[in-house]
Structure 1
Amino acid sequence: MAAADTLDPAPNPPSLPPRPPDYARLFEQRILRNAHYWRDFLNDHGEDIAALDGERDGIVQALGYALDVAEAWSPAYEVMTRFSPYLERRGAWAGWNPLLEQVVRQAEERGDLAAAVTLSTRV
């Protein structure tokens, strides 16, 4: 028997390590899901002042993130238009007006003049 016959066959080449997750994309997907969540929340609880009082800070924070993700524009716009009357009634202008101004600018940049006009009436 020849020496070559006694050797083990060549092992499988080592596999490459898995590609690391695209954390930026995962974060954007979470932001998009969150924008949809708050849109649905407002559709279900938009008239429940106690629920809105309890979630106000979370909604405002979520909108701040959503405005930086192009895919989240539509649900973020819906949240803005549904949530704005509540904040107006509560007199929460300090944190809300800068966000509204940012949204109006973004709507104009996107060429969404209807959204810009609708939201600019709330600033």
Structure 2
Amino acid sequence: MAFQYHRSAQTEFKPPLIANENAYLGDVATSQENDPEKPISAGFYRLEKGTPLVYEYTYHEMKIIVDGEFDISDETGQKVHATRGDVFYFPKGSKITFTTESFGLGFFVGQRREGGA
């Protein structure tokens, strides 16, 4: 079985708008075809300055900040100013608020079907 390759995805892939005027997310790769019972999907999430995004996870996700910055908080009161290189695990059921004073770009891997965010 051949591997998949996505050349320059961090700089070339433009995720579509998913919420508000400033939140973008798009899947780049998925294991859905090879493992339809337990797929994982990966891609990029970009937030521009503006409306905060409040998101409740219906799946487990890992995210690494690859550019810019985010202020990330959850319903427990935990708050982090995230910058390039920071890694997060968002458990299924968590309610996360993302904001930024400029922009942030994260690469994610989620335990979900393609387009299931």
Q: Does TM-score exceed 0.5, indicating one fold?
A: no
Higher helix share: 1
Q: TM-score, normalised by structure 2?
A: 0.27
Q: TM-score, normalised by structure 1?
A: 0.26
Which structure's CA Rg is the greater one?
A: 1
Higher strand share: 2
